Amino acid sequence: MANVIVDIEPLMVMVFNLNYPLHGYAHTFLSGIIIGTIFGALGYYAFKPINWGMKLIALDYTKNLRKAVISGVLGIWLHVLIDSFLYKDINPFFPVNENPFYHLINPEIIYKACLISFLPVIIIYLIKVIRTNKRA
């Protein structure tokens, strides 16, 4: 959830034609701590709807504030890191006004890696669902 929230910033810039960087403050590791903590805690306190959604897709959700916050922060940090290879306007180490990651990896490789990563995730998910159904 938290790693998707970060992209509300560029969406707002594009929709409202704002005079603001497309990837501004939300796309920094520093903001990742703040936003990830807030949305991780929200996920923790929104246990009932999240648990309902997780059960719907056959996944267990154990209420744990520490894990929720760490997941929120790490999700945003990973998002910022991946985007940093793709977009020059990101300053991941704000207040340092520089992006040392830009084009260190060919964007095509990043896109392919993201697509390829879905395969093991789907396999792991299907194994989990099958095991859960066998126990039921």
> Residue 58 — very low, low, confident or very high, per pLDDT cuts 50/70/90?
confident
Number of Cβ within a 10 Å radius of residue 79:
20
Query: From the centroid of its chain, how far is CA 107?
Result: 18
Query: From the centroid of its chain, how far is CA 81?
Result: 10
Q: Is the pLDDT of residue 50 over 80?
A: no
> Residue 87 — very low, low, confident or very high, per pLDDT cuts 50/70/90?
very high
Q: Is the pLDDT of residue 136 over 70?
A: no
Judge whether 110 and 86 are in contact, CB under 8 Å: yes
Question: What pLDDT does residue 72 have?
Answer: 94
Q: Is the pLDDT of residue 56 over 90?
A: no
The pLDDT tens digits for 14-44 are: 999 999 989 999 999 999 999 999 999 998 8
The pLDDT tens digits for 120-133 are: 999 998 998 888 77
**Omega before residue 95 within 30° of 0, cis:** yes
Whole-angstrom distance, CA of residue 18 vs CA of residue 126: 43
Environment class of 84 (CB within 10 Å of its CB; exposed 0-12, middle 13-18, buried 19+): buried
Q: Which amino acid is at 35?
A: I
Q: Is the pLDDT of residue 67 over 70?
A: yes
Three-state DSSP class for 19? coil
- Please, what sign has the CA dihedral across residues 14, 16, 22, 23? negative
Q: Where are the domains of the chain?
A: 2-103, 105-136
